[in-house]
Structure 1
């Protein structure tokens, strides 16, 4: 729509907002405001009161961003027709304008083609024009990164990937454990209401902007810098960040992290709370929100889950875990292995590292506040290629991420006298099934081989050695050739799958590796020629049935040995409720039994964990840690330790749409849930959300639910965007915490009148 000017050489301007936003892939962001991508031209029309003669009276324009714009910083640009504008010799990020062939200068109709440079700082700009010594304000526009532009550092060549990593508003985040990979639908909602205001505020409220606004705005030309700012701003540790982290209840004054099903409700709450932190988040929530902001700003982004993720606090690439003599994990372990940890990957070039593009591509950026980086709680961007090659000297935070996927593990038993007995070491435990959503489908994409060589391979150990010593004397290592190691990785996966089959693994989403075992590391002064070799034991956990929340959990410990005679064993079984970040929350059970292991036979020890024993502690936990310590009664100084992480599967809940769904027309969603336990469910709530379906989360209270009784909840909604959308449901009650359900909704366009 053209804007008219009164009493001026300028009659009016038409910003062609609808056309420009459509061509710049921003029409879902704004209808009335110009939202553009750098490196791509846009059109506007200016009507003058008199004919236009550029040789006599040029048309000069200016674009500026920030409170202290300068040409040298690239935050101010002067340009015009003809382009005889005086510029600073050090001017950066120069804009250009040309006359479109369709213009009619003799009638004063100027159709202009304006091009912001591909290295311009992103953010909010003022666009002005000057002609015959008269100035006019044309527009406030927003400039974003442009993954469609070859000159932009975030350029992504594949259109399907651009649609997935920039434009798609929903996806999957993987949780659970290395034994059970649990997909969870997540609504990113980057094009929902108020997202433009929210994302601009995230940039302006970061502490670097407060310290030096001009330098901060100028640095927004760099995707590396911007992604680092976002990483810091999603958590609230240092500034006016979005989310407060909390790794255990009670969650007073906020929502449990498991409540959230999407990013937009969190960001909208932050906006409405006048930019005070939202309570509470954990790693998958932090990563989901960061992915939303990155995609909005135009940086291709995906959410990645690392199973059995190391948190190496002393930076020695060793995770030391301490157990009491019953196998119970101690609370004061500084290092830890998280069941899973979730971060983001952003796609960008890294000219700050090397000019040859060696470390361009996916970069780890992690907003979860774990450790400080340059004095603030943020992480990355760390090039995935640098992690793969062990280049731990590079920016940013490569050593920390390298440890998350590569650290070695050592387990210690704490003896009665306080001394420590090394009972197990494992170089293969950390960094399994590194997962993200596959482009264009809802399947899991395993990207472990982009982070490291196959576990246990010579190349993997070489890189580990190089990362810790900076010594790469191996002359057979090809730094650049990923494809060279494909065969090695295929062999690794074949061996891993065979191992899973031997431990009753049934599906990809229920990868059930048996708990590993190790014997104590004690030296002996006895002459080995004069003694009988000690029999070796192996311990494995096996599930009798799929572990379901609401039912007793049944496992068995299988003990195998090399003994030639009957072996009398002491078996201690302990069960703990565990938070997903590797910290114990409660001791649930301890059983000590004695049994005889016969030669060439397996010993099976049944383990029962009653529902009533675990139900309350597991409301605030993600898994059960089952530990076994087995000792030979005749050789008690050589204990064996094994562990298993049991993730409980929630009872089923279904959601369907009852009719054809159309924009602007009320429809009904129907949710069904049956109480499977012999307890009354109280404090029942159900929350509904979904981009394009509901403008914000809607929560309802439900009555109590008795055993075998069911809810049938019919919820009305009016879609406001067409296309394929996802409706998300969260059910919470006294015995089950945040059971999730979702359904795909095909929203038809509105009827034309």
Structure 2
């Protein structure tokens, strides 16, 4: 065969191999002139390499490594390898059209014509027909699944191995790189966590199975990037992957993983409150070929994004912001409009303050910003506002938010508005009776928004207060400097005309109650003047979503709120008063949290590897009405996959009991997570830590 034709065929077949076709290039050589030696097999040393790269936890039989760290493999030939005379290439390809210039076709050469490439390679040793080599993916390597080929190069041409999925290679981000100074065990390796919710006066939590190491989850996370058409060139840049991920976990505009819904009607999917972890969601998304999963709200978005980032190797945590502002009017003020009788005017109130809102932080260097803005970065995939045309948020530096440096990418002003108590004015208006429909301020609270920001404490289920990472102390010089900096960066001034002092203060007190219990309100009134004051006051009670949106107003009678309850609902009480002697007005409000009924988990037997033990989940219906169409989930990362049971109804006072037999495969601490959910009662959860011997 002429040399020119052979080269053309070789190039053509190389392209086909890059596309996943199976060829061996023996046909390029005349029958009388075969290569003098052949490749036999390659040992990827999966167990040893995974241990060295902190990837042993992935339930995946392929080799998984972290970039910028050497992994060692052994290649066997049919004769000894001669480093001075022989030439061997290890080729790693990703994508449909591998290109050396784009980093999607990597060649690591060994032997007499060794040349430098993107990845470093070295011969570690030779014994018999085996050669041991070390390979180091470069620090900016594309993350994903590479196809591996061994190519023998001779004067007659190349002999490349067939495609063998068993020697495919996954490359991930490396949080163990110098400069990535954070707790990797908590923020990369921990596969179960706590997401905090509730409200500022009643902080509650639920366990969440991140499950980043579960079977199929890594491939599902890579599918998210593929389905979102994220260019391979972007996948070596952590900033790009993080920003793309914050868009792709929601399906608002790009057929991402989750459909957000706050409608209350989840009959066409799963209620957000029913999920117990990310693997079920990501695996369903992959199984359905990239069809968005229904439904999610902020903590579900945050839980799945946490899994996505940790799975790819980026340190990530979930953060909860209590009294989180959503400023629809864009004036950095949260405006609550009252009717003349003191009730919240739902049609005119466009802004809202969420009881809580969950987002994520990722820990990374920001080479695109000054050095002091590296570290924790806010990302948020709950679809609230668009950024560069897509529903996403971040990454934005937490340090930049704290210091009012809002001109750096990405979305710093939006996050600043969610947490900044001195720039967010909590204004309550009373409609005037003039023909222009003007309003007047009757109350301003500059400390209402961003009262508390927390995340799970390392090695504990308690929370860590990280408010000081976002804001300087109230009234401090640093805080004033931050506001001045923010105003220079374009945010609205916090100047306002405060309402005149009424001389009387009011405070509403109430305790957290169980759903269905009676509530007790105490209104404390303090006269700070020397005159007698006559106060006329109206107390309005309404059911409110956790997003701060009011649902229904109810009478202040015992249990009168029950017919109006919505998912994750709390009770909002608004007091509006007028002093008859001077006509001045005053108001206050209080959110009363409602605790759901209890769900219990009990273990029978001692959990031991290879031995059965039983887990029983129990629930009693404490209400005087029937619960219908109940879902019960039980799961535990590293122990059992999600078990879903459905029940037609539970009568008043009736009980439910579900028992599962489990045979542990791995020792260590495990967390059992259970959740009961139905249309009339949401957020009924429980968790139990056990130790498998």
TM-score if structure 2 supplies the norm length? 0.88
Counterpart secondary structure, 1:36: strand
Structure 2 CA distance for aligned equivalents of residues 278 and 396 of structure 1 = 27
Aligned partner of residue 641 in structure 2, secondary structure: coil
Out of 373, 382, 392, the position equivalent to 1:368 is 382
Find the aligned partners of 1:681 and 1:134 in 2 and give their Cα distance: 68
Q: Give the distance between the partners of 1:109 and 1:735, measured in 2 at CA.
A: 66
- Is contact 1:662-1:719 (8 Å) kept? yes
Among 222, 225, 237, the residue aligned to 1:222: 237
Give the equivalent residue in structure 1 for 2:63.
34
Structure 2 counterpart of 1:647 = 593
List per-residue Cα deviations over 1:241-290 (Å, max 9, x = no partner).
11000112112301221111211111122122221111111111100000
Residues 567, 681 of structure 2: 8 Å contact kept: no
The residue number in structure 2 matching 1:634 is 581
> Is 1:429 aligned with 2:445?
no
| Secondary structure class of the residue paired with 1:616 | helix
User: Structure 2: 5+ residue runs without aligned partners?
Assistant: 1-23, 27-33
Q: 1:641 Cα deviation (Å)?
A: 0.9
Q: CA deviation at 1:140?
A: 1.7
Quickly say closer, same or farther: Cα 1:535–1:129, change in 2 above 3 A: closer
Are 2:121 and 1:97 equivalent residues in the alignment? yes
Query: d(CA) in 2 for partners of 1:745 and 1:702?
Result: 31
Of 486, 503, 506 in structure 2, the residue corresponding to residue 536 of structure 1 is 503
Identify the residue that residue 214 of structure 2 maps to in structure 1: 192
CA distance in 2, matches of 1:327, 1:519: 21
Residue in structure 1 matched with residue 614 of structure 2 by the alignment: 668
**1:55/1:558 CA distance change after superposition, 3 Å:** same
- Pairing 1:48–2:77 present: yes
CA distance in structure 2 between the aligned counterparts of 1:734 and 1:368, rounded to whole angstroms: 23
Aligned-partner SS, 1:742: strand
SS at match of 1:635: coil
Secondary structure of 1:567's match? Answer: coil
Offset of residue 736 of structure 1: 2.3
Is the contact made by 2:221 and 2:282 (CA closer than 8 Å) also made in structure 1?
A: no
SS at match of 1:171: strand
Matched, 1:142 2:142: no
2: distance between equivalents of 1:192 and 1:30? 6
Of 162, 180, 183, the residue aligned with 1:156 is 180
TM-score (norm 1): 0.81
Q: Per the alignment, do residues 141 and 78 of structure 1 end up closer, same or farther by CA in structure 2, a change over 3 Å counting?
A: same
Matches within 5 A, 1:201-600: 201-207=223-229, 209=230, 216-332=231-347, 333-354=349-370, 357-406=371-420, 407-417=424-434, 418-470=437-489, 521=499, 536-543=503-510, 545-589=511-555
Indicate the residue corresponding to 2:569 in structure 1.
622
> Is the Cα–Cα contact under 8 Å of residues 324 and 415 in structure 1 kept in the other structure?
no
Verify the 8 A CA contact 1:63 1:76 in the aligned structure 2.
Answer: yes
In structure 2, the residue matched to 1:511 is: none
Shift of 1:738: 3.2
Q: Report deviation, 1:620.
A: 2.6
Matched, 1:744 2:689: yes
In the alignment of these two chains, the number of paired residues is 643
Following TM superposition, by how much is the alpha carbon of 1:710 offset from its aligned partner in structure 2, in angstroms?
A: 4.1
| Partner secondary structure for residue 54 of structure 1 | coil
Contact 1:692 1:722 in 2 (8 A): no
2:624 is the alignment partner of 1:610? no
Superposed displacement of residue 460, structure 1: 1.4
Q: CA deviation at 1:537?
A: 1.1
Q: 1:28 to 1:83 in 2, by over 3 A?
A: farther
* 2:192–2:210 contact (8 Å) kept in structure 1: yes
Check whether the contact 2:676–2:684 (CA below 8 A) recurs between aligned residues: yes
- CA separation of 1:144 and 1:244: change in aligned 2, threshold 3 A: same
CA distance in 2, matches of 1:633, 1:520: 21
1-structure distance, mates of 2:508, 2:112: 75
Would the alpha carbon gap of residues 409 and 301 (structure 1) be closer, same or farther in structure 2, given more than 3 Å must change? same
Note the alpha carbon deviations across 1:652-695, whole angstroms, 9 max, x for none.
Answer: 33212111123444322123333333444444442212212322
Q: Distance in 2 between matches of 1:32 and 1:689?
A: 23
Q: How far 1:576 moved relative to its partner?
A: 1.2
Q: Is the 8 A contact 2:44 2:74 kept in 1?
A: yes
Alignment-derived partner of residue 482 in structure 1? none
Q: Kindly state the Cα deviation for residue 520 of structure 1 after the two structures are TM-superposed.
A: 8.1
Task: Classify the secondary structure of the residue corresponding to 1:696.
Answer: strand
Structure 1 unaligned spans of 5+: 210-215, 473-517, 523-533, 590-607, 749-753
User: Structure 2: how far apart are the matches of 1:457 and 1:702?
Assistant: 58
Q: Give the 3-state SS of the residue equivalent to 1:626 in structure 2.
A: strand
Secondary structure of the residue that 1:22 maps to in structure 2? helix
Separation in 2, partners of 1:519, 1:186: 45
For residues 176-201 of structure 1, what are the alpha-carbon distances to aligned partners after superposition, in whole Å with 9 as ceiling and x for unaligned? 11221112111111111211220110
Tell me the distance in 2 between the aligned counterparts of 1:619 and 1:535: 36
Alpha-carbon offset, residue 314 of structure 1: 3.9
| 8 A Cα contact 1:244 1:280, kept in partner | yes
Mark the CA change 1:700 to 1:723 in structure 2 (over 3 Å): closer, same or farther.
Answer: farther
In 2, are the aligned partners of 1:172 and 1:442 still within 8 Å (CA)?
A: yes
Q: 1:314 to 1:188 in 2, by over 3 A?
A: same
Q: CA deviation at 1:734?
A: 6.1
Are 1:730 and 1:741, in contact at CA under 8 Å, matched by a contact in 2?
yes
Name the structure 2 match of 1:493. Answer: none
